[in-house]
Chains A and B, each alone.
Chain A
Amino acid sequence: MVELSDLGTPVENTWCPGCGNFGILMTFKNALLDLGLEREEVAIVAGIGCHGKITDYVNVNALHTIHGRVLPTATGVKLANHGLTVVGFAGDGDAYNIGIGHLPHAARRNVDITYVVHDNLVYGLTTGQTSPTSKRGYVSKTSPRGSFEPGVNPLAQALASDASFVARGFAGEPHHLRELFKQAMTHKGFALVDILQPCVTWNRVNTYQFYRERVYKLVEEGHDPASFEEAYMRAREWGDRIPIGILYREERPVYRSNFPALEKGPLTRQPLEDVNLERLLGEFK
């Protein structure tokens, strides 16, 4: 059995003290332990941004990719070896700006991966620019007059894209988040976990305090994750009250079932030489 210490790496953590990412990292490791997953059974894929450093901090299989491309890359990993538990990590800039074009497609395909978005409503690693989830009026060096644009609503986007699992967590609620991770990673299909992650350096609005005063747990209010309409209503909620938990969940066939070759097991396990070229050439004779 894997121990917490096995999941650590020798790399020094360079996130800012107090960063919401610490909570996400520790919670993710704990979720892996809870699920009894061995290191080699997991592959994580990360994008570019503060969140992306997570591949240096968890000792599982990892692919650190480029900005915005976590979903296609993770899809490739999963289709090539569906024996792996694949978890993608992205930031809000990564997932909802440059990479948002991939979200509806991964969602509608129902690729069996978990997509964790460290959503701090600001650009961190590039030093504090407005992000796609920054709210209207947010002041930063790139929106000195206050952001003109309403923020992207990731949960509504995911729902509109037929994602089969849509959830929101809060980095300041690790026990709740741990449960979300476990539910998402065992969900058969595409699971989005958008995490409210305070950025202590750049975002002075959406702080731990801000969220503590507002978040409430869906499970405590009798929310029915089977109801798309109710989920959509909750996804639109942002103000004095912000819901966290599983907004929506449905069971439907995963993307893998679309491919005849994958019925025989992971592609990586299939021999390369067993192709009968002669049979294929018949059509051209």
Chain B
Amino acid sequence: MSAKGVNEGSVSILIGGEAGQGLSRSGSLLGKALMRGGLHVFGSIDYPSVIRGSHNFYTLTVSGGEVHSNGDSVDIVLALNKETVLLHVDEVSPGGVIVYDEGVEISSEELGREDVLLLPFPLTMIVKEIGGPDVIRNTVALGAGLGLMDIGVEVMKAVISDVFAGRERIIEMNHAAIERGYVYAREHYADALSIELKPSGGSLDRIIVTGNEAVALGAIAAGCRFYAAYPMTPASAVLHYLISTEEVTGMTVVQTESEISALNMVVGASYAGVRAMTATSGGGFCLMTEALSLAAMTESPLVLMLGQRPGPSTGLATYTSQGDLLFAVHAAHGEFPRVVVAPGDVEECFHLTVEAFNLAERHQIQSIIITDKQVIESHKSTAAFEAVAGIDRGELEIVDEWKGEGEYKRYRITESGVSPRILPGTRRATVFANSNEHNEYGYTTSDPMETVMMVDKRMRKGSSLRAEIEALSPVRVYGPEDADVTLVGWGSTKGAALEAIKTLEGDGLKARFVQVVYIEPFPVEAFKAALGNGGRLLLIEGNKTAQLGQIIELNTGVAFENVLLKYDGRPFTPGDIAAKVREVL
């Protein structure tokens, strides 16, 4: 048979078992090996909020060409327990296979499908023979997967050697596990699947990263020197990565006592003059809103990543959502300009983070990078990042001594609204940043005319910001001009939408995707230009209330008759979108 994944020449592998079995790690290592073999991968983890027990699974989609999301079905299930078989059997593509431990009994009634092949494997036996811990069963299963796909084990073994460098016993054991799983699959199930995965070329200087890692790398490339955060799923990995690289990057990274502390520390560091950042999820962002307002009033540039998960409240702590967009746009009291930017994949997570720092400093405002679990915890292969944007600190003058006339005015009234900034510590000057309404020097005021001048000054920064954002490809279009349907979305829906375009193309339907990247200030001109004449409009969002749709209607008058909303905590699949398109057309 020929396995069918999200598109021709692709294959999806699901590895499932209990939490604590290291599935995300295993899945991403397999992804890395396949990437090194010249293929593209996309991998995502689905896990409930528990540390041990309970069902977890990692889905890896592999293709010769670029992969933007997982598909709707899987071709190979690597089941580390019976539950995985029963939970996922319905997702297996016809002719697909399920690898499971030979000690597990599964009746054909339980399976309920005749077009799926069950492949019993001596997973536990092999682990015993190797003398490894139970967790090595994952690795045996990965070897089985490689055997079924008829992909050699050398690259996978090299990945293991790299990742566990210095831990010889672990490397040896994993190598043996891979080898044994692979050989068993070739000896017993060589004909179970017929898969052809051909690298499509392109640069082989690739990396496999999550959105969290990409945001962290973007912060590093942007010269961020201070990062403070409180752990919160799904954004914690930014903190982990930045702490693990402190000695290389020279960043100072603090795990704070709360999100309140995190953003206030960032404001302090920003006032002192370094590029500073935090990241959190919705609940933590709630706690940060007062400090966000402080940053706005004191005109302290900073970057904040909001990694969404479903709410309200604790919600689904380990799942995905796009429910906090309006909150990000409006969060905190008082009126002030801000940036809200929504990367749709790992490349954008990297580049837009660099851009977010530059915008924040040039306009002395706060940039919110809004992401979600699907984009920041999923792995994607991509060309190795290169910082192209450079570092632009705007009107910041780093000098030993201030040469200006009279006393330095932190809030000097200017045409652009941006006041030239110097660092506290500059000789012959003192820098006063004030949360009270203030005059040009920073001294507190309650004078009505001074108040108006300062409000106007701050809001003028919003005008120049709006103009600059229109020039930054704030709205991106994918697919043919003369489409039957134009999909409109933001953030992680990009992945499923791009795959859906391919699926629909196979059915003879032309679809295009309009991705709103910058959402605040809303790029009205770019959005209108992007809509073009692309047939019917379909808005796709991972929330209940079509929040981007509300923003678009408010700013442009464009209303959406057709909407596809998903709020079950799971990401969109290409099939979700393709099905809706067929319904709409």
The one of A80, A276, A277, A284 in contact with B225, judged by C-beta atoms closer than 8 angstroms, is A80
Q: Are the C-beta atoms of B444 and A279 separated by less than 8 Å? A: no
Chain B 273-325 residues near chain A, CB threshold 8 A: 273-276, 290-291, 293-294, 298
For the complex, is B53 an interface residue (Cβ under 8 Å from A)? Answer: no
The one of B217, B271, B385 in contact with A63, judged by C-beta atoms closer than 8 angstroms, is B271
Determine how close the nearest CB of chain B comes to the CB of A166; give it in whole angstroms.
20
B384, closest chain A residue (CB): A281
Q: Are the C-beta atoms of B250 and A275 separated by less than 8 Å? A: yes
Chain B 363-403 residues near chain A, CB threshold 8 A: 384-387, 391, 393, 398
Q: Are the C-beta atoms of B426 and A63 separated by less than 8 Å? A: no
Q: Are the C-beta atoms of A277 and B221 separated by less than 8 Å? A: yes
The one of B260, B425, B432 in contact with A84, judged by C-beta atoms closer than 8 angstroms, is B425
Determine how close the nearest CB of chain A comes to the CB of B285; give it in whole angstroms.
16
Q: How far is the CA of A84 from the CA of B245 in the complex (A)?
A: 26
For the complex, is B213 an interface residue (Cβ under 8 Å from A)? Answer: yes
For the complex, is B424 an interface residue (Cβ under 8 Å from A)? Answer: yes
For the complex, is B442 an interface residue (Cβ under 8 Å from A)? Answer: yes
Contact A76:B267 (CB < 8 A) given known A11-B444, A40-B428, A267-B274: yes
Please name all residues of chain A whose beta carbon is closer than 8 Å to the beta carbon of B245 when the two chains form the complex. Answer: 280
Contact A65:B385 (CB < 8 A) given known A80-B225, A81-B423, A272-B391: no
Name B's interface SS.
mixed
Q: Are the C-beta atoms of A76 and B225 separated by less than 8 Å? A: no
Q: How far is the CA of A270 from the CA of B260 in the complex (A)?
A: 27
Q: Are the C-beta atoms of B424 and A43 separated by less than 8 Å? A: yes
Chain A 47-92 residues near chain B, CB threshold 8 A: 48, 53, 55-56, 59-66, 69, 71-81, 83-84
Q: Are the C-beta atoms of A40 and B250 separated by less than 8 Å? A: no
Q: Are the C-beta atoms of A62 and B248 separated by less than 8 Å? A: no
B36, closest chain A residue (CB): A285
Chain B 319-350 residues near chain A, CB threshold 8 A: none
Determine how close the nearest CB of chain B comes to the CB of A139; give it in whole angstroms.
31
Q: Are the C-beta atoms of B252 and A275 separated by less than 8 Å? A: no
Determine how close the nearest CB of chain B comes to the CB of A272; give it in whole angstroms.
3
Please name all residues of chain B whose beta carbon is closer than 8 Å to the beta carbon of A77 when the two chains form the complex. Answer: 268-269, 271-272, 424
Contact A280:B217 (CB < 8 A) given known A63-B271, A76-B226, A84-B425: yes
Contact code string B235-273 (vs A, CB < 8 Å = 1, else 0) = 000000000011111111110111011101111111111
The one of A39, A65, A105, A277 in contact with B220, judged by C-beta atoms closer than 8 angstroms, is A277
Contact A69:B260 (CB < 8 A) given known A56-B443, A264-B250: yes
The one of B208, B272, B430 in contact with A268, judged by C-beta atoms closer than 8 angstroms, is B272
- Contact stretch, chosen from A146-154, A207-215, A254-262: A254-262
The one of B205, B220, B257, B430 in contact with A280, judged by C-beta atoms closer than 8 angstroms, is B220
Instruction: Indicate the member of B221, B245, B423 with the most A CB atoms within 10 Å.
Output: B423
Contact code string A78-118 (vs B, CB < 8 Å = 1, else 0) = 11110110000000000000000110010000000000000
Q: Are the C-beta atoms of B225 and A40 separated by less than 8 Å? A: no
Q: How large is the interface on A (under 10, 10 to 19, 20 to 34, 35 or more residues)?
A: 35 or more
For the complex, is A9 an interface residue (Cβ under 8 Å from B)? Answer: yes
B298, closest chain A residue (CB): A63
Please name all residues of chain B whose beta carbon is closer than 8 Å to the beta carbon of A268 when the two chains form the complex. Answer: 272-274, 398, 423, 425
Contact A273:B433 (CB < 8 A) given known A66-B291, A73-B267, A261-B246: no
Contact A277:B386 (CB < 8 A) given known A63-B298, A72-B261: yes
Q: How far is the CA of A63 from the CA of B253 in the complex (A)?
A: 22
A58, closest chain B residue (CB): B430
Q: Closest 3 A-B residue pairs measured CB to CB?
A: A76-B268, A272-B223, A80-B272
Which residues does A use to contact B, with CB under 8 Å? 9-11, 38-41, 43, 45, 48, 53, 55-56, 59-66, 69, 71-81, 83-84, 101-102, 105, 259-262, 264, 266-268, 270, 272-281, 284-285
Which residues does B use to contact A, with CB under 8 Å? 32, 36, 205-209, 213, 217, 220-223, 225-226, 228, 245-254, 256-258, 260-262, 264-276, 290-291, 293-294, 298, 384-387, 391, 393, 398, 423-436, 442-444
A-B contact pairs, 18 of them (CB 8 A): A56-B444, A61-B431, A63-B433, A64-B435, A64-B436, A65-B294, A66-B290, A69-B294, A72-B268, A73-B265, A76-B272, A79-B252, A80-B225, A84-B424, A105-B256, A260-B247, A267-B225, A268-B423
